[in-house]
Amino acid sequence: MLFSFLNDNNLNGSIPSCTYPKSAYISKLVTGCQDVWQFQIPWTTASKCNWVQVQQEGFLVYRGQVLLDIYEWQNGVSEFRYIRSVLRVKLRFQQYVSVTVAQDPSVFSTKGLNAAITKQIVAINLGAPALVELVTVYNYPYRLNSGALTLTPPSKVQNFTFSFTDCTVAINNICRQRWASLLTLTPNTCTLDGNYQLSWVTGCGAGLDQTTCPLLPADFATSVNFSLQSENFCAEVEVDVGLTGSVASYSDAGYSNPSSAFIVGRTAYFLVSVNSELNPSGPYDPKTAKVTFSATSLVSVTVKQKGTTNIFYIFQNGNPYVFGKNETDLKTNCVALPNSNVYQVGFSFAFSTQLASALTSNGQVTFTIGATVRVSYVQSKKRGIEQGSTDTKNTYTIDNDLTPDTTITTSAASTSGSNSASNSASNSASASSSSSAVASSSSTGSNGVIVIASCLFMLISLLI
């Protein structure tokens, strides 16, 4: 007979799973002359088989033994031979273990986002988009994605175009990105003033996935708030450069004999001189001039008999006036006289009997002579406005004694208006008063040079 016990032969009745042949987990195989015992007891059951438990160098140790009781019948003595074999067993359960992570964890610095506005450019052409550029700098391994302008001042930005210059994320390098917003402003918007916001989604650079990127969902949403201030770019700063001018009359084409008294039918010669208010006082001098001229040309000449309200053109739009068939030809033969000085231009005309039709045999007639000239500047970026003349000697009255009258009057005359028949002449334009001052207006020549036209008036008396 064979019996087997795990640890204690007294457990045969109380814990049968620990004894053979009662246990369903203990079996015996016979191999040749050998008996092979197999113990396959679940630990939840085997742990109840009276083990001796001790601690040993980091192990929880269960000490026990396997008892084999063999009974063999001896015929010679008619008695059983009893043999007990003991196999000592020690089970050690490790209590401590050292482990390493399959992939070594990495620690990164904080995001450290820095941002600055690097461009605020208002378009040269009013109404064209304005450019705002913002540069961001991020620590490794972070970068900004999906940028958008999410806040603009109310009613100022109609739409915008967004673009950016990306970075290459690399260890030991910062990520520098440029974000450009091209703002199309609403009509009548004249400043960029207000609050703005750029928003992104923060992520990691290439090569880092969800496992190796240290960001959490709460770290994704990122924004920068900023405000802009600008000038009023709709406003226009106007700088006006005025002109001064004078006109003198002569009896000869060489301008050597000043005269303000003429016999009817004779030709009078006039010389117009101009200067800029920014230049030194006195005659124009190209050596000292701050504003330099390139040419002065004659635009128009008008005459008005003193005491009347009609102004007659005898030179217009740079050419002698052409009288219509319903107009009385004044036969003045007014022509422009070129001058070598860029600040002067001359003209001449005859005091014809048609012009002086009101002159009596023993009387005199006084005329106000008006000239409009065009000044071209060497510099092309000048502007002009109407400006009264500072000339103090452009009014003359002649009587029978040929004594000049130095009375100065201020011009309020207007040389604009359509030609209409009046008395003996028909190319007249109405005027509010007769006068002798200088006025100026501005226009732009076809070559892009700014020109300023001056209206110069003087009084001439005719004597017969």
Say yes or no to pLDDT of 365 above 90: yes
> What residue ranges define each of the domains in the chain, with the CATH number in brackets?
2-94 (no CATH), 114-228 (2.60.40), 243-463 (no CATH)
401 strand-pairing partners: none
User: From CA 291, how far away is CA 379, in angstroms rounded?
Assistant: 8
Please give the residue that has the higher pLDDT: either 460 or 338: 338
| pLDDT at position 222 | 96
Determine which of 205-219, 383-397, 447-461 has the lowest per-residue pLDDT on average. Answer: 383-397
Q: What is the DSSP letter of 341?
A: S
- Provide the β-strand partners of residue 13: none
- ∠ CA 240-246-247, rounded to 5°: 140
| Helix-, strand-, coil-residue percentages of the chain, each rounded to 5 | 5, 45, 50
Enumerate the β-bridge partners of residue 113: none
pLDDT digits (tens, 9 = 90+) for 401-419: 222 222 222 232 322 223 3
Confidence of residue 459 (pLDDT cuts 50, 70, 90): low
**Predicted confidence band at 379 (pLDDT cuts at 50, 70, 90)?**
low
The predicted-structure confidence for 180-230, as pLDDT tens digits, reads as follows 999 999 999 999 999 999 999 999 998 888 888 999 999 999 999 999 999
Give the dihedral of Cα atoms 166, 169, 173, 176; nearest 10 deg: 20
Res. 52: pLDDT tops 70: yes
Tell me the mean pLDDT in the region 226-242: 91
* Cβ atoms of 80 and 72 closer than 8 Å: yes
What whole-number percentage of the chain has pLDDT above 70? 81
Contact 23, 17 (CB under 8 A): yes
Average pLDDT on 376-385 reads 56
The count of C-alpha atoms lying within 13 angstroms of the C-alpha of 287, restricted to the half-sphere facing its C-beta, is: 0
pLDDT band at 6 (very low <50, low <70, confident <90, very high): confident
User: Binning pLDDT at 50, 70 and 90, where does residue 427 land?
Assistant: low
Inform me whether the pLDDT recorded for 12 exceeds 50: yes
* Lookup: tokens for 261: 């008294």
pLDDT of res. 217: 93
Determine the average pLDDT of the residues in 306-311: 91
What CA–CA distances, in Å, run from 316 to 296, 301, 312, 320?
Answer: 15, 7, 10, 6
Dihedral of the alpha carbons of 372, 374, 375, 379, in degrees to the nearest 10? 150
**pLDDT tens-digit series, residues 122-162:** 999 999 999 999 999 999 999 999 999 999 999 999 999 99
CA distance 429 to 309: 8
Q: Is the pLDDT of residue 34 over 90?
A: no
Sheet of 142-151, strands arranged across:
142-151, 194-204, 221-228
With a cut of 90, say whether residue 261 has pLDDT above it: yes
**pLDDT 10s digits, 322-343:** 999 999 999 999 999 989 999 9
Query: Mean pLDDT over all residues of the chain?
Result: 82
User: Among 265, 279, 245, 289, which Cα is nearest to 441's?
Assistant: 245
